[in-house]
A and B are shown apart, each in its own frame.
Chain A
Amino acid sequence: MENPHVLFLSLLVFLPALGALLIATPLFGKGNEELTKRFAFGFTVIVFLMSIWMAIPGASPNQFSFDGDAVSEMQMVFNLPWIPSFDINYFMGVDGISFPLIVLTTFISMLSMAASWPIKKYVKGYCILFLLLETGMIGVFMALDFFLFYVFWEVMLLPMYFLIGIWGGPRREYAAIKFFLYTLLGSVFMLIAILILYYNSDLRALSPEQLQAAHVISAVDDAAAASAANALIAAESPQHTFNILALQTLGQSTDQFSKPGLFGWSLQIWAFLLLFVGFVIKVPSVPLHTWLPDAHVEAPTPISMILAGVLLKMGGYGIIRMCYPICPEGGYSLAWFVCIIGVVSMVYGAFAALAQKDFKRMVAYSSVSHMGYVVLGLGVWSLASSVDPDYWAMGATGAMFQMLAHGISSAGMFFMVGVIYDRVHHRDLDKFGGLFAKMPIYSGLSVGIFFAGLGLPGLCGFIGEVLVTLSVWKFSVVLAVISASVVVLTAAYILWALQRVYLGAEYKGPHPEALTPITQRELWIASPLLALAILFGVYPQALLMYMTPTITRQVDQLAGWALEHEAQQQALTQDQQQEDLQKQAALAEQREEEFAITN
């Protein structure tokens, strides 16, 4: 195969699925549970190493490139036909937005597979579903074809349903169905938007350069590419597309999606809304968040880690990858809507976390609060920030950083809750206390990870929160003040929980004899998380160097679009005014004439 990335990226995506297939063979029968887990864990490790390998600059072509413009663009792209009759392609690539998330996914998957050792029920099925889930997650972050994206999105949904529904807690069926229905609702909205975009898109409006940049045309030499592009442009019927890059170009440089739709809102606004609702369910934001606490509380620990660490990020990823670049007008008109949703989530989640009695539920609500920062950071797009897009770039980067930071800290928090749940089999905050004396290393690690969630400087949570918060003032003073006030609530609920669980003289809940010190396995799951939290807090460039160029480029493009859009609107209103004036003048003339005639 000519393109060296096809094999590598496909392997990265489908290696877990391959592992699942192997586990499905009778080789791994009853009595081989330990082996099965090790095998699955081995696969997650291999996938993680592959993703890390991409980050290390070296000789192989399969590396994330920092050369010149490449760093901000889509890299390692390949585009093969899959269902040609609908122009659906097997189209993948990575860039600064998706790459950190892919590494996060493989990393969290590896750790949560390691955290799956206490699972004793149907181990074979568990491992199969787990690996399938990983394939779906990596695929979502890599897919550049909207249809492919949708397929992976759904592929990830089903294993999750079973993982919660079979291996979960007492109310697992309820939680699983709630999760499934919520997400499915989002998927439906998304599908509608995808179809709207597909049927309104027409590649003929693009220039050959744009087509090539969007990888619609991938030819070996320029001449072939040019002829292919000209052939496409000269086609008689509209050339619909699922190509996300092409859709972005279409959304920003043509008015194909600007046709008026329902209520006189343009298609862009509708598509944005539909996509946004679809993604924001996944984030999740108030008021579409109630699946999260239930799912988290019922899900087994490793699945909670995946859920918080990776799944929630897909919403944010979708918003930054699809909503804004494809439907800039929607994002521009609905900036307030997006930001208010973000701020409300932040405040609401924090307040709700404050009132929880269940440790895991509290952490779940803290996720709602923290992911509110993500939505807010992505949304702070005002005209002022198009003039000076640095602030929005900062907000969006902050949001991306917050996603990764939250991926680390919340996965850690859920794991920490899981560790004591495995021991004492309850999560009642009021029945803990004094764990520091019994499990000192565990408590130390927990406090570190919880402080990362609290947004303490020097830990990863701080950078994302501060970047987002600082970028808001330029957008809206009121929202800025409210979002700043959340720091108090965050400190309150986290410190209060820490006090009730770890501090104090003695443990008063059930099974005090089970509180044994942390095991080696648990130590090796928790400490990398804390180490990363510290690394990213002290050296955020480790992430920013991947994300910033891409995000800045996208923000600059959108800011340019916004200025043009604004100018167009002004021209329109001026035209209107002139027309009105002319009409009035004509009317006056007419009257004068009539007057003259009557006289």
Chain B
Amino acid sequence: MDFAERLPLLLLAAWLTPLASFVLVVFFGKRMGNAGVGGAYVATAAIAISCGLSLIALFGWINHHGLPAPLSHHHHEEHHDDHQHDDHQHDGDEQDSHAEAAVHGSDANPDDPQATATAGFGGAAYHGQWYTLAEFGSLKLTIGYYIDALTVVMFSMVTIIATCIHFYAMGYMHEELHEVKDKEVELTTGEHLLRPGRYYRFFQYLSLFCFSMLGIVVSGNLAMTFVFWELVGICSYFLIGFYIERKSASTAANKAFIVNRVGDFGFIIGLMVVFSTIGSFDFGGEQGIFAAVRPGEEHPLTVPDSMVQASAVMHGEAAATDELTAEQLETFRGQGFGYGLLITLGLGVFCGCVGKSAQFPLHTWLPDAMEGPTPVSALVHSATMVAAGVFLVGRFYPVFAPEVLLTIAVIGCFTLFMAATIAITATDIKRVLAYSTLSQLGYMMFALGVGGWLAGMLHLITHAFFKSLLFMCSGSVIHAVHSNEMTEMGGLRKKMPVTAYTMLVGCLAIMGAGIPFLVGFSGYYSKDSIIAQALSFKQVNPGWGVMYFFAVGGAAITAFYMFRLWYMTFAGPPRNQHRYDHAHESPRVMWVPLVVLAIFATFAVFPSFNQSGLVRLLSHAEPDGIHAGHVGRLAEVTIPPEMDSHADAIHVEATMTAFTTAMLGFLLATIIYGLRKVNPDEVRQKFSPLYRFLRHKWYFDELYHVLFVVPVKMVGVGVSWFDQKVIDGAIHFLAKLMLWTSSIDEFIDRRFVDGFVNGFAKATYGVGLWLRGVQTGSVRQYVVYIVVGTILLFVLASFFLNFSLALDVN
């Protein structure tokens, strides 16, 4: 079994193990040990196995393909060579698997797993199908795989973090093992709710969540991505709404799912465009989306022929039946036909990512999602749900036109700044982290939008590590003090040192701490490359340069609010002595994952950006053709190639700027919260309107409530009213009309039809009355009548009958 066959099977196993665990726990969870404690073991074992398999796949990949050479300023050329090398290496595989495909093809079973490796866009990619859901002629809905270096890295990242979280959750959720008194829920009787624990349920959902997320990562086509996209959504619904008794939790869960569905609406439109114009959902393959959008050797962004034709048909320039020639297609393409469809496609898919990755304007669900248990927050906010959006943008990157990228950049930029500002004023420790997640996701989107594919993907990975670390630390704190409010904390450093210092590592990583040009935490490298790319973008597009300043400003704010959080929680004297006294370090099952993640957060990009195995591996998956530097067709925008940002001129300036701003934020936080030189309350009062604005999260919830929720409900009521009053009213009116018509009918019946019958009867009666006079009762008279009648009869008969009465008897 060669690598091309082994790899999909490995990942398939890694993907399905959590599903198996889910099924097991659903049906037998309750019977697994005391109060379902075994459910946790099953789920954790499953994700650990999955993690092991992913790591095997990762090292297998490195072993098979080798790591690309370290990057340098000139890495483009080398990179390219490297690629050729890779491609070359791959051609062999490709032929092999093609041969196999031919063998498989002869028995015409499309469900057969057939590994097809092609030179992907950047590095090698394996794609194929596992299972066909539905098939109509050439149109297919399948479950398949598209595996490149990014997939393998994501698999490892997701499973490592998920494994840590599973272990952590075993400790965190132990309360659920017995009856739980939910202090946030007050019954009408005035007591707190007492409910049975749901320990194994939690792990059941976690398993499903991991399965869904891995499904997105391994997905070989856009439709499959959508399937697991939705499943991730529903898992987040279950997990955010885990405390179903709390109104706030179920509302938050609803909000998360419904807001995500708004994004999915865009996603579906993207799906429609792909399906109707390209006719295939597959990423890879000759008929696939990437091949259609980026054909040829150089992989320039090209509007596919089918899209050009579809657009021409829409504009009435051609008929659907026409077979357009190559020249016609070129002409139409030159006129811009189909470019709009390409943009629609990009925007649609990005819209889905906006929902999942909680970008403006669909960001409002994410802070509310804090209603779920903290391990869920850690999972949702780092490795899984929100990562899915960024991942898809990265995966679908070759298809995005410059205009779409610009949109992504603008939205990412706005989100990163807005969320950072809100995080300053939040006092709920998890909410600060939630807004920080929003902000960091904004960074990733921004990076991708300005052309920094590698920067964005790298930040996705590094952020996953340090954000899961931060969340789990905060969970550890909450676990200890039983409160989310930072105003109740302080000085906890002494009580829970492991938590405090691992969290410090997380804070340093997220602010991007490091010694410039020498060494730093993982976040230092990823944030640095983002700022560098932004600077590069600013130089090419001065008109959009303002975004760079937002990104830099955001970096300062990030450092500020993260250290505000750390100082408020761990430094200084305790704010609430009672809580402080009861605080304690978390059990080992909880803090060991923290240490593991802290190590990852520190050393993920080691020893330097260019040398790092992670970066080199990711660069293996970097889509080709994006180095070209695209120029927008409709908007004045040029996407600079990413390697430009590695040039010293940009790199040095960016690093210095990022370092300075981050230090600024750090110092400010230290002055206000660490050394307590300035009273934050005074600052708050000084900027009271701004404070209120930020405290109310820019009033987005209120705005959306007025703009969308209320109108939709009103339309619903209106429609219902229309149904009952207008349509049913019309029906009832018709019924009344019918009754009225029938009353007329009845009148006619009575007056005319019955009148005639009755009149006839009356006439008969009259005649009878008149004839009655003849009946005198006198027999003699009767006799006379008889005689006269007889005679008359004879006379009449003689008149009318044609024979003579007087027979000639003689």
Whether the complex brings A and B within 8 Å at their CB atoms is answered yes
Chain A interface residues toward B at CB < 8 A = 178, 287, 289-290, 293, 348, 351-356, 383-384, 387-391, 393-394, 397, 434, 436-437, 451, 456-458, 462-463, 466-467, 469-470, 472-474, 477, 480-481, 484-485, 487-489, 491-493, 495-496, 499, 502-506, 508, 540-541, 544, 548, 552, 563
CB of B719 within 8 A of CB of A348, answer yes
Given contacts A491-B257, A508-B188, contact A390 B712 (CB under 8 A): no
Contacts of B262 in A (CB 8 A): 488
Tell which of A354, A456, A488 has the most Cβ of chain B within 10 Å.
Answer: A488
Contacts of A487 in B (CB 8 A): 261, 264-265, 268
Contacts of A383 in B (CB 8 A): 320-321
16 A-B interface contacts by CB (under 8 A): A289-B727, A351-B712, A352-B716, A354-B712, A355-B713, A384-B320, A436-B244, A457-B230, A469-B272, A470-B276, A485-B265, A492-B258, A495-B258, A503-B245, A504-B244, A544-B134
Assuming A289-B727, A351-B718, A491-B261, what are 15 further A-B pairs, CB within 8 angstroms?
Answer: A290-B727, A352-B720, A387-B320, A389-B137, A390-B136, A393-B137, A434-B245, A456-B230, A458-B231, A469-B268, A480-B269, A480-B272, A488-B258, A506-B193, A508-B188
B254 on interface, CB distance cutoff 8 Å? yes
| B689-731 contacts to A (CB < 8 Å) | 712-713, 715-720, 723, 727-728, 731
CB of B731 within 8 A of CB of A457, answer no
Mask for B210-227, Cβ within 8 A of A = 1, else 0?
000000000000010011
Given contacts A355-B713, A456-B231, A488-B262, contact A548 B275 (CB under 8 A): no
CB of B275 within 8 A of CB of A473, answer yes
| B165-214 contacts to A (CB < 8 Å) | 182, 185, 187-188, 193, 195
Interface of chain B, main secondary structure = helix
CA distance A541 to B140 in the complex (A): 12
B241 on interface, CB distance cutoff 8 Å? yes
CA distance A495 to B271 in the complex (A): 24
Contacts of B718 in A (CB 8 A): 351, 355
CB of A356 within 8 A of CB of B720, answer yes
The residue that A473 contacts in the complex, of B251, B253, B273, B727, with Cβ under 8 A, is B273
Given contacts A355-B720, A391-B276, contact A290 B728 (CB under 8 A): yes
CB of B275 within 8 A of CB of A504, answer no
CA distance A467 to B275 in the complex (A): 11
Chain A's closest residue to B229 (CB) is: A457
CB of B188 within 8 A of CB of A290, answer no
CA distance A348 to B720 in the complex (A): 9
Contacts of B132 in A (CB 8 A): 541
Contacts of A394 in B (CB 8 A): 134, 136, 139
B133 on interface, CB distance cutoff 8 Å? yes
Chain A's closest residue to B189 (CB) is: A506
The residue that B723 contacts in the complex, of A290, A436, A493, A544, with Cβ under 8 A, is A290
B254 to chain A, nearest CB (A): 5
CA distance A436 to B250 in the complex (A): 13
Given contacts A384-B313, A484-B269, contact A473 B137 (CB under 8 A): no
CA distance A502 to B245 in the complex (A): 9
Contacts of B268 in A (CB 8 A): 469, 484, 487
CA distance A391 to B134 in the complex (A): 13
The residue that A499 contacts in the complex, of B187, B250, B719, B727, with Cβ under 8 A, is B250
Chain B's closest residue to A470 (CB) is: B275
The residue that B250 contacts in the complex, of A503, A506, A541, A544, with Cβ under 8 A, is A503
B145 on interface, CB distance cutoff 8 Å? no
B247 on interface, CB distance cutoff 8 Å? yes
B286 to chain A, nearest CB (A): 19
CA distance A596 to B638 in the complex (A): 71
CB of A504 within 8 A of CB of B250, answer yes
CA distance A541 to B110 in the complex (A): 13
B18 to chain A, nearest CB (A): 14
The residue that B136 contacts in the complex, of A348, A505, A541, A552, with Cβ under 8 A, is A552
Contacts of A544 in B (CB 8 A): 134-135
The residue that A503 contacts in the complex, of B241, B716, B728, with Cβ under 8 A, is B241
B138 on interface, CB distance cutoff 8 Å? yes
B658 on interface, CB distance cutoff 8 Å? no
B228 on interface, CB distance cutoff 8 Å? yes
CA distance A481 to B253 in the complex (A): 26
B505 on interface, CB distance cutoff 8 Å? no
* Nearest 5 interchain pairs by C-beta: A354-B716, A355-B716, A390-B137, A473-B272, A457-B227
